[in-house]
Structure 1
């Protein structure tokens, strides 16, 4: 499957706050927090779902992988979405391993697996945070 999604215990806003702290502990920063519902409403469109797109980056890892293959820049920064669906909050992302496969560069596979593992761990922790 090209994505990973987990159900969270909190509202979208609370989940984003918790996730940001956990990501920071793993040396990932949130570069951008795009609130789709708010943006569409400002443009005059009704959108009934809370939906946030976080662009996250570990600068050291980004430099390393871009040095190996600059085409990876098409996938950076990593995206994590936090959204409501049928009254529940979900956290999801496209799997870095699925995206890196698109480059056809097998030397990047272990790198993508490491990043994916770290992000999945962060998402799982944020989902179950009390």
Structure 2
């Protein structure tokens, strides 16, 4: 599966706040918090589902990966989506290992696996 998703009983805003704190512990910062619903509504489109797409980056990891293969820039920064579906808050991400796998570089695969595990652990903590 190309993604990792967890559910939480937290509200969407609570989940985003808790996720930002957990990611910070792993030295990931949120570069951008894109509120899809608000943006679409501001552009005149009815859209009732709340989605927040977080662009997440660990600068040291990004530098290291980009120095090894500039094509990795197609996958950076990492995305984490927090959304509501059928009354449940969900937190998901495309797996870094799935994305970096397109580059067929075992060294990058190992690095992506470590990043994926750390980000998934943050998501798991928020889901509790």
Shorter-chain TM band: over 0.9
2:67 alignment partner in structure 1: 67
2:126 corresponds to 1:126: yes
2:106 alignment partner in structure 1: 106
RMSD: 0.6
What are the ranges of 5 or more consecutive residues in structure 2 without an aligned counterpart? Answer: none
**What are the Cα deviations for residues 76-121 of structure 1, in whole angstroms up to 9, with x where unaligned?**
0000000000000000000000000111222211101000000000
How big is the shift at 1:42? 0.3
- Return the alpha-carbon distance in structure 1 between the equivalents of residues 127 and 58 of structure 2: 21
What are the ranges of 5 or more consecutive residues in structure 1 without an aligned counterpart? Answer: none
TM-score (norm 1): 0.96
Residues 80-119 of structure 1 aligned to structure 2 (within 5 Å)? 80-119=80-119
TM-score (norm 2): 0.98
Count residues with an aligned counterpart: 128
